[in-house]
Structure 1
Amino acid sequence: MELISNLELFQTVFNSAPNGIAVLKSLYDNKDKVEDFSILLFNSCIINWIDNKDYKGKRFSTIFSKIEGTNILEQFIETAETGITANFEQWYGDENGKQCFGFTVVKQDEMLVVTMEDVTEKKHAETALNNALIDAEKQKRLYDSILNGTPDLVYVFDRDYKFAYANKALLSMWGKTAEDSIGRGLIENGYEDWHAEMHEKEIDTVISERKPIRGTVSFPHAELGRRIYDYIFVPVFNEKGEVEFVAGTTRDITESKQAEEKLQQSENRFRKMIHQTPAPTLVLRGDNLVIEQINKHMLQMIGRGEEIIGMRLIDVLPELEGQYVWEQVLKVYNEGIPFDQSEVLVPHNRTGELKDYYYNLAYRPLIEDGEITGMIQVAVEVTQQVVARQKMEESESRFRALVNASSDLVYRMDADWMIMQNLEGEGGLSNSGERGINWLDKFIHTTDLRQAVDLISKSIVEKSIFEMEHKAVNEDDSVRWVFSRVVPILDDQEKIIEWFGASSDITSQKELQNVITESEEKFRQLADLIPQIIWTADPDGFVDYYNSRWYEYTGFEEHEFGDSSWISKLHPDDVYLVSKRWYESVRAEFPYQIEFRLRNANTGEYRWFLSKALPIRDKEGVLTNWFGTCTDIHEQKSTTEKLEILVADRTKELQRSNEDLQQFAHVASHDLKEPVRKIKTFLSRLEEHMEEQLDESSSKYIERIHVAADRMFNMIDGVLAYSKMNADSQKTTIVDLNEVIKNIENDLEIALQEANGKIYFEELPVIEGASVLLYQLFYNLINNSIKFAQENIPPQINITATEQIEAGNKVAIITVEDNGIGFDLDQTGRIFETFTRLNSKDRYEGTGLGLSLCKKIAERHGGSITATGISNKGAIFIITLPFVQKAKDI
């Protein structure tokens, strides 16, 4: 205490110490336990370390904030409480740099005297020494492998001419074991007298002259017979510089010529190796570092061709001059020191623009006759990896931000599933911040405990991700559903060191899932009670559900088929049209309806079905799935065929009646025009006569009479045209539908310009038919598309065509699609009826006869016309016309 009171002397003593010395005073908590230390004195060594002179009276854990995660403070507290001196070493620091310190902690009264020694270099030296020992052991194994793996004869003589060592090749040549050979002389090991005498003299010469000798000798091999060998004896010196042993190597040179050839082949292989190695490689020669060899990978990397061979590297890449990488190239060549470094930044011009690239570089000097004559360069580009790591580091920061923003409970656990740290997020779960609690006790309801233990055991054994939906108990004893996902973190030995997990509250999802499951089950039960086949499909048209009726009829295993397997059950004649119509509906998102035949698995017969499907949309109008039915209409179709016979009989009667009706319509139309014409004439005279006497109301009434009379006149013309359709026969000719559409486009030019409309068509077929009638057919359809356009939306009319075979005849399927006001699906059956109007006559002009005429024209050509549409989304008309007419008059 007297020494401490003389602070100046004490501080001088402190500051003279080569190691760090600190004097600390214990700080106690409310339970009289040591929790930290107050700093009394630091010597200069510690002050220089922490770079903080304002330390006195502050807590040790505050000044040395990086001790968190170490046991330094705990060791100090143990010495303060027990009085037992502590000696330990501990690494201290963060990712920016770590040092290892040796601590000696001594308790003196109520104080601790701590000596701190920086042993980082010592630790590094120990590590280097251990590594050197490991390398030395590897080197020994390498030498043993080389000596015993080489075909050369390697051996050692002691000064008495006895063998002290013989490798496997020599023992094999003798046909002896090491026990039978080592310690024995030349003659004892089978050498002839002259041979033994010659080698003994050579051994004496090596010992006396202290230098190697070389020679050639011929002697027998145990298996190969007599061979010629080249040998060399060299002295082996002990630590005193005396020749202790004579080592020798002998090589079979019988095949010397082959050896020379192999040497040449080796040179060629070296060149091939340079060119075939997957890493970008080049060889430089001479003081100017001229490119002697370069493989295609290096050429591609620097963006040049083989014309650079023979050029100086600095001339090829002048931007390297002055850069760090060029300094290393010169250093390797001038000093012969290999250079290896990863992720070296090299700005250079590869694509016409100077950019930054990163490479793993390896430079090796080429040494010939003891002199450096060039160097080999290997450069592997790692720009993507470096950029990826940088992005990963950025991703780490984003990850922490994401965790902080997450609504899930995120946590870390040790290898035994003990919670070490709750990160951020609540997830609707209890999060008291407890540590050291078993995860099972914290999160798993007793009813799920067995399953959780089994899954955890499996994850531990397989080092796999744990995933589980389970119940958890909150602090208020309420039960909630939780989804937990826990990922194992492995060390470089593939050992689990900790677990990273997240748990999210899925109670609402589970409740909704239960409701959906119950709803789906009720739907399936109801669907199985319906006599029709019920099916659903995803937005792309792939069937994902059938009711039991489908499996009963087709014989498929339940849930075995759910894609387009239904095609295999169709009648071959129906496959093309059904598939085309279905995928057209899927693509256009229009309702689907068609008749086709399906094969019964039990009877093998084909029965007729009517299939309908509607697109199901969400509240935003997005297609979510399709709901469809298939109804057996085989009996109705059979009845229809019988009715067709009756219809044929009645047709003759109706034909005569129709001719009478057509004549009547023709006469009536002409007779009706006369009174309408008189109404128009006398109405005009009345206007002229009372021109100055008519008030505004009277003028309106007269105008309405004019409009009604004009409409009546148009109606009479329509009836006349409709009646003449069946009365007048037309000669068939070859009709190019492309020309027909072009003529219509010219005739409707003004209407198209006023509406800003467009007609798109190409590659329409050339067919037989009545040119006038086909013109009228497409004129009415295109005119309707212009007339029934949506307000402020220019009409777009697309006309496409395909071909197919129906009942052995080639037919054209022509589709006319527009983006007009369309019509509701339930109006499809009325749209071709005579005088049918689907829209207000005050807003859209017309007689209601246009589409009826279209239907008659298509039928007179032996074809058909159908329509489908969606209100405010447009209409599609599909016309089927044969390529060849059966009669010349239609």
Structure 2
Amino acid sequence: MTGSDKPFDKKTLGERLDVHFALQAAGLGAWEMDPQTNHVQWDDRCRELFGLAKDHIVAYQQAVQHIHPEDIDQVNKAINWAMNPESDGFYDQTFRTLGADDGQLRWVRFQGRAYFSEAGKLSRFAGIAQEVTQPQPIPAHRQQRIYEAITASTPDLVYAFDLSYRFTYANQALLAMWGSTWEKAIGKGLLENGYEPWHAQMHEREIDQVVATKQPIRGEVAFPHATLGRRIYDYVFAPIVNEKGEVEAIAGTTRDITDRKRAEAALKVSEERFRSFVMASSDVVYTMSADWRQMNQLVGKTFLTDTQQPNRDWLLKYIPATDQAQVESAIEAAIAGKRVYELEHRVIQADGQIGWTFSRAVPILDEQGQILEWLGTASDVTEQVQALQQKEESLRQLLTLFEQSPVGLATLSADDELVFQWANTFYGELVARPNQDLVGKPLLEALPEIKGQGFDGILKEVIATGTPYIALEVAVNILRDGRLATIYVDLAYQPRKGTQSEVEGILVLATDVTQQVRSRKEIEASQQLLRDLVLSAPIGISILNAADLVIETVNDAFIEVAGKTYEQLIGQHYWVPFAEVAPYYADALSRVAQEGETFSINEVEMRLIRHGQEELIYVTFVYMPIKDTAGRVQKVAVWVLENTHQVTQRRKIEEQVQQRTEELAAANEELAATNEELAGSNEEYAAINEELEEANFLLNRSNDNLQQFAYVASHDLQEPLRKVQSFGDLLTQQYSDQLGEGVTYLERMQAAASRMSGLIKDLLAYSRISTQRDSRGPVSLASIVQTVLTDLDLVIEETGAQVEVSPLPTIDGDRSQLEQLFQNLLANALKFRQPEVTPRIQVKAGWLAADHLPIGIKPARKSIAYHRIEVIDNGVGFDEKYLDRIFQVFQRLHGKSQFAGSGIGLAICEKVVTNHGGAITASSQPGQGATFIVYLPV
């Protein structure tokens, strides 16, 4: 292929056109000024415009001498402003020149732009120049090629509008941003080139402003790039004026400043973060000149004062004279070696006291390796130095304290004789010998009574193996006051090793724990007594292993209720001896063992094989989890109380009453017929009354038995608990310093005893509600609620609770029981509150007819109407699927660690309401509060 056959380059004409040729064709000159030296690089055309020879020096100060004197100030001001980072960087001035060599006057127009780095530093100032003395029009087709040649290589967007807002020119960078071509874009408006309506309207208003004012306008805007996404642009619209001074077009340039904006934002965040870090620091942060003669900056918190003239002399005046030479020597060495300066020395603080500071400065080097400045920090280390000094003093004191330590300390030789080398005073008191009677004597000679107790053999084993020996609560028989006494010690034999790891001696540490051991044994005896009392309680109790539900312990009452022998129960899985009821209650027992929730049921009917025969019995029983300190279920306690006799008698009486009622109705119908039948009926009623009296006697005896149990619970069970708590208090008060970590176990024991005591009291209260005889009379519920609120006044004040009580009725009832009802309901409303939420409680009452009772509400006594009393709170609430459980004994919906309590309070409420012939229910959602509703007969 010949040269004439080669295809055209795929680049546009503007891209292929030589820029130098384009400038020559347009009669334009190119220039650039170095911001650092103020030297100007001009091409030949620019020199001609100043009348300079080609080889003439072109320093700016020389060239400016050939500007017309009347125009020099104007030119200088324009250049200085364009080189200011606060300007838009554009320079456009028309002025007169006086030829340096030919003396000719010319009118010239110099246009250019200053370029700045992201830090705002001027990096370049360049542009073009043309003579305007006799301007020659440039043909339109040539003008387009010239524009393309000039603007094709710039990343800036260059374009022009006519007065109808249509594009008449767009360089390649702008076309690329649009993703369009010259043919598609030129002659089209803003909207047609993809501008959003708001964007197009904004530019049209700005074009109108430029036309009206004939002044450039500058702005920033963000809009999408065809390939780069949304970008930020800096743009300038400038008027193009014809020879008549009229604006005939608008020229525009736009620069992508997205990266600069992001860098500026990142730099600002970084600077702010560094400034915040420095200001939050307790150190002084400073910069120092290369020779350390001038402190340039001082920020952060300082422990010095008078920072008006910070320099080396100022710094040295805060250093004691004895340390100044050391500081200056360190500074000079750092400067000479261009290395980091680090030194800790004394300093005179603002209050005149001598403190300590640690200074560290890093040299900042230029490209030639010369020090520009120093960046340093100074920390106030007075407290650390003083602490180190105090530690050294403490070590000295520690040697003295060893001698006076309340722990027995002694050292023995590592030979067969085990000779005492040293012993402190407490060790001598522990073995009832003066120190001087121990030191220098073999162990068995100094303490002959320990021969045969094995301690010499243990010591020789430690020497042979080099392994320490530690034992707790070791019993030692020591001769005291002429007779042997048993003491208990925590004992440690620690080998002292030499440089070759050989044992050189033994350090003996002995702590007297005699009193703690004796106290613990007393506590264990008390706990055993408590276990004995529980096992002998009139309530059947069985203890199961939670992991496999194997029976570990049963008391006599449980054996009696179960109708099995001790051997048939102990060691068996719980459902082996009770297989006949496993289908009904196995799931409940498993949930208690796995989830730790208490399960209880009252007077349930069950068929149980007892003594080899199936029997129908009625029992109240509880499955209660027993947890360790970590909250894990370890055991399950089964509490059983047989109610067969009471239920049978009650049902028998109810049947008899029903039967006699029916017979009485029949007798009344026949009463008019015959007096003889009436007489016979009277005899029969007398017999019925006798039976009723007998039944009442049996019920009273049953209640007396329950009262006797209540007495046992309140007295016999409480008494050992009180002893445990008393002994615990004595141990804590008198021996807490000696117990060490044992205090934690005592506190846990006290907490467990306190919970047990509370549980017994709640059971007693429930028992009394169930058995006590009513003392009925008119009772004002308003008065009762006011009394309860007075009792809860402290809790209400602490929580800031808001309690609203509406008018309440007066009913026929037992005041004591009703007080317990509202005490439990209002106390629960305060206890189960939401964190950070002010408790709000409402108590209100209403009235409704019996036939309007909600479905499922069955009061214990029929009435034509009922009072409806509501207690409403905004607490944690509960899931209504647990509604059938919350009124049962020992039922809890929350963990003990979250809300304290025994799970009996609502069972007491249910019993009180039942005693008064009513019913109780509740409605709630988790986190939505709860409403407890009580129905009482009118």
* TM-score, normalisation: structure 2: 0.31
* TM-score, normalisation: structure 1: 0.32
Larger RCO: Structure 1 or Structure 2 (Cα < 8 Å, ≥ 6 residues apart)? 2
